[in-house]
Amino acid sequence: MKFVVDVMLGRLARWLRLLGFDVVYRPDASDEQLIAIAEAEERTLLTKDTRLLRDCRVNGYLVRSARWEDQLREVLAEFHLRDLIRAFTRCPECNTPLVAVEKEAVRSRLPQNVYEEQTDVHLCPGCSRLYWAGTHVERMSRKIEELLGE
């Protein structure tokens, strides 16, 4: 499942990416650009803009919930995505799939305590950010469990 998300759903886009879904989010994109991306890349357009969906010719879904947590639950349910979740496999910033790297290869870029304590380090080939399972991942994992009701 691939999505393109309008400017009103930025937090939803980030959390869908954190769950491993391919989500294009360009807050500066016009409605026409969003439609073009959806068409060219066969993505479902997620929007809060009823006019945009009424006037466009792409597969789209009107997100009804106001809070991002409810939006995430809504989209997961609408598209039956729960079994497709692969959390922390995609860069939440640029949407690129992460790749595992030897921590020795990126040692100079890691805080000393991370180098000493972590075994798994991932790199985003798109924006060169590094990721590891620190306390932020623990917090996000708890939030995901809460959101999914598990």
In terms of C-beta density within 10 A (0-12 exposed, 13-18 middle, 19 or more buried), how is residue 16 classed? buried
Q: What is the pLDDT of residues 75-129, one digit of tens each?
A: 999 999 999 999 999 999 999 999 999 999 999 999 999 999 999 999 999 999 9
Residues spanned by CATH 3.40.50 within the chain?
A: 2-84
pLDDT band at 53 (very low <50, low <70, confident <90, very high): confident
DSSP of 62-131: E---SSHHHHHHHHHHHTT-GGG--TTSB-TTT-PBPEEE-GGGGGGGS-HHHHHH-S-EEE-TTT--EE
Using left for φ > 0, alpha for ψ between -120 and 50, and beta otherwise, residue 40 falls in alpha
Q: What is the pLDDT of residues 124-143, one digit of tens each?
A: 999 999 999 988 888 998 99
Q: Please state, rounded to an integer, the average pLDDT across all residues of the chain.
A: 93
Q: Does the pLDDT at position 36 exceed 60?
A: yes
Q: What per-residue confidence (pLDDT) applies to 150?
A: 56
Q: Does the pLDDT at position 34 exceed 60?
A: yes
Q: Does the pLDDT at position 56 exceed 80?
A: no
| Six-digit token string for 128 | 């060169």
- pTM given for the model: 0.90
Q: What per-residue confidence (pLDDT) applies to 147?
A: 86
Domain 2-84, what fold? Rossmann fold (3.40.50)
Of 135, 136, 4, 20, the closest CA to residue 85 belongs to: 20
